[in-house]
Amino acid sequence: MIVKEALLQGEKQQIKEFLTKFSLKMDEVEGSLYLEDDDKIVGTISYLGNIIKCLAVDPLYQSENAATLLINELISRLNEKNIYSYFVFTKPMYQNIFLSFGFRLIVKDDKVVFLEGGNDKIEEEIKKIKRKLEFYLGPIEENSDIACVIVNANPMTTGHEYLIETASKNHDQVVVFVVEEDKSIFSFQERLTLVYLACKRLENVAVIPSSKYIVSSLTFPSYFLPSDSVDTELARIDALVYKNYFKKIIHFKKRYLGKETKEKMVKYNEVLKEELGEDIIEVERYVEDGVVVSASLVRKYLENKDLDSALKYIPKGNQTFFSLMVKDKYGI
Amino acid sequence: MSDIQKIGSAGSVESNDCLVTISASDHLEVEIQSIVDAFFHDQIEKVVLDTLKEKGLNNVKVSLQDKGALDYTIKARLLTAIERMEAK
């Protein structure tokens, strides 16, 4: 038995076929390894960034340490890429396999387990975030009146500004987490800068990266779930991580959400409300001149190269920087 | 935020081996996960601490996932991890 990296299209196709035997779909991946015996695939594992996914081993080989070979090889490859902390989302039935490799349980529900392995520990990482926040906002105690807003802000609009302002008025301290991913049209750095600029005038607001522990739809692997339950599960995991770690350690009292209109996101907010109950405050969408402001509206204007209309929904403090930024991106 | 961290790792989680990860820290911290923890925790810790002392390292975080490695395996893995960390 030998572990190989899938480089050719043909190999990738074979892995895909192999996975269907386990009723798994091939998810979006960065690279895949497979285990070969007699010119046949008998096991496979893949990764995307720091997320390990699509592990499957032929039942005939399960007693031969095949999973260990694959996981070891993958971990050393991730280490070569300077990734020393990694995550796994899997079915509860596989929880023990990963625990035996030294992975630690973060949260679980009846359909998904979320584990982490490697160097960083969630409690310590969130305590680090807390220390950073105290630098901006002053001491955070158990009874501090502190709230948080999690935004993707792709790009930051007056709607986001309104949501953050509302939280800032109602609470002593407010934390804005910007989702840390480079898959949106605007890069993470750009989005963070825009949010930071817009919030600069609000003294009780700190803007920081969301950390890799705030799970988003872009990284959440869904290949082992029936497609109708993906959004609900994602929201549930998000809620559990928030409740068991962020809320517990940073003592958040409320989490602010913007009211959603898209069906998918409405469902997401529903689940959050279900899990977190009174901790959730849903703020009505910001309406400007009878138009409901949203990031997708701004993106639509930009695609039509209509910068003036787009700028109407961009916070004042951002407009100069924003115009410069979209110049290259959209050729306006 | 990906601040480049001084970190090194060596070994595997196969039987009779251990996976050692060592990173720069502001204090000494040794963390051991072992399948024979109940019997050999102290012994494993001693090997790690002795090796660190030999290399004169005081402010590091070592985490070790042990699958029943013998003393000299642990020491060899740790030394390699230290060299990989220092090569960065």
Q: Tens of pLDDT along A144-166?
A: 999 999 998 888 999 999 999 99
DSSP letter for each residue of A290-314: TEE--HHHHHHHHHTT-HHHHHTTS
Inter-chain touch A71–B14, beta carbons under 8 Å: no
**Residue in B closest to A192 by C-alpha:** B1
Q: Where does chain A have alpha helices with state H?
A: 9-20, 66-80, 95-100, 122-137, 158-170, 188-199, 230-241, 247-250, 263-276, 295-303, 307-311, 319-330
Which of left, alpha, beta for A331 (phi over 0: left; psi -120 to 50: alpha)? left
Judgement on whether residues A91 and A182 belong to the same structural domain of the protein: no
Judgement on whether residues A272 and A158 belong to the same structural domain of the protein: yes
Residues near A171 by Cβ (< 8 Å), separated by ≥ 6? A145, A146, A147, A204, A253, A254
Mean pLDDT, residues A23-43 taken together: 89
Note the maximum CA span of chain B. 40
Of A262 and A169, which is predicted with more confidence?
A169
Inter-chain touch A72–B14, beta carbons under 8 Å: yes
- pLDDT grade for A184, boundaries at 50, 70 and 90: confident
Q: Which of A126-130, A210-214, B4-8 has the highest mean pLDDT?
A: A126-130
* Chain A residues with a Cβ under 8 Å from any Cβ in chain B: 65, 68, 71-72, 75-76, 79, 82, 84, 101-102, 118-119, 180, 209
Inter-chain touch B13–A65, beta carbons under 8 Å: no
Give A188→chain B minimum CA distance, Å.
10
**Residue in B closest to A85 by C-alpha:** B21
Query: Over 50: is that where the pLDDT of B39 sits?
Result: yes
* Chain B residues with a Cβ under 8 Å from any Cβ in chain A: 1, 4-5, 7, 9, 12-15, 19, 21, 23, 33, 61, 63, 65
In chain A, residues with a C-beta closer than 8 Å to the C-beta of B5 are 84
In chain A, the percentage of residues whose pLDDT exceeds 90 is 47
Instruction: Say whether domain B7-86 belongs to CATH 3.90.76.10.
Output: no
Q: Which of A172-186, A290-304, B45-59 has the highest mean pLDDT?
A: B45-59
Of B29 and A63, which is predicted with more confidence?
B29
In chain B, residues with a C-beta closer than 8 Å to the C-beta of A209 are 1
Q: Output the average pLDDT for chain B.
A: 90
Residue A181: CATH number of its domain: 3.40.50.620
CB burial readout A240-260, b (16+ within 10 A) else e: bbbbebbbebbbbbbbbbbeb
CA dist A56 and A292 (Å) reads 46
Beta bridge partners of A176: A149, A207
| Mutation for testing the B interface, residue in A101, A128, A192 having most B CBs under 10 Å | A101
CA dist B21 and B7 (Å) reads 7
Other C-beta atoms closer than 10 Å to the C-beta of B64 total: 25
Judgement on whether residues A114 and A68 belong to the same structural domain of the protein: yes
Provide the pLDDT for residue B46.
96
Q: Give me the phi and psi of A177, to 5 degrees please.
A: -95, 130
Judgement on whether residues A110 and A82 belong to the same structural domain of the protein: yes
Judgement on whether residues A206 and A255 belong to the same structural domain of the protein: yes
Provide the pairing of β-strand A173-178 with A104-108: unpaired
Position A262, amino acid: K
Inter-chain touch B1–A84, beta carbons under 8 Å: no
Inter-chain touch B21–A71, beta carbons under 8 Å: no
Q: Where do we find the tokens 């639509």?
A: A300
Show me where the domains of chain B are located: 7-86
Residue A81: CATH number of its domain: 3.40.630.30
Give A118→chain B minimum CA distance, Å.
8
Domain final position from A68, A93, A118: A118
Domain final position from A83, A118, A153: A118
Nearest 5°: the CA angle B10, B12, B15 is 140
Judgement on whether residues A136 and A267 belong to the same structural domain of the protein: yes
Give A117→chain B minimum CA distance, Å.
11
Output DSSP code: residue A225.
S
Domains: count for chain A: 2
Inter-chain touch A79–B9, beta carbons under 8 Å: yes
- pLDDT grade for B4, boundaries at 50, 70 and 90: low
Give A290→chain B minimum CA distance, Å.
38
Inter-chain touch B4–A82, beta carbons under 8 Å: yes
Mean pLDDT, residues A297-307 taken together: 90
Domain final position from A103, A118, A133: A118
State ipTM: 0.71
Position A38, amino acid: D
CA dist A27 and A280 (Å) reads 32
| Mutation for testing the A interface, residue in B9, B35, B85 having most A CBs under 10 Å | B9
Of A332 and B10, which is predicted with more confidence?
B10
Judgement on whether residues A57 and A148 belong to the same structural domain of the protein: no
Position A241, amino acid: V
Give A20→chain B minimum CA distance, Å.
28
Judgement on whether residues A179 and A326 belong to the same structural domain of the protein: yes
- pLDDT grade for B3, boundaries at 50, 70 and 90: very low
Residue A33 · residue A6 · CB < 8 Å: yes
State both tokens at A12. Answer: 């990738």
Residues spanned by the domain of A133: 122-330
Q: Give me the phi and psi of B33, to 5 degrees please.
A: -120, 120
CB burial readout A175-186, b (16+ within 10 A) else e: bbbbbbbeebeb
Judgement on whether residues A38 and A126 belong to the same structural domain of the protein: no
In chain A, residues with a C-beta closer than 8 Å to the C-beta of B33 are 102
State both tokens at B46. Answer: 């001693």
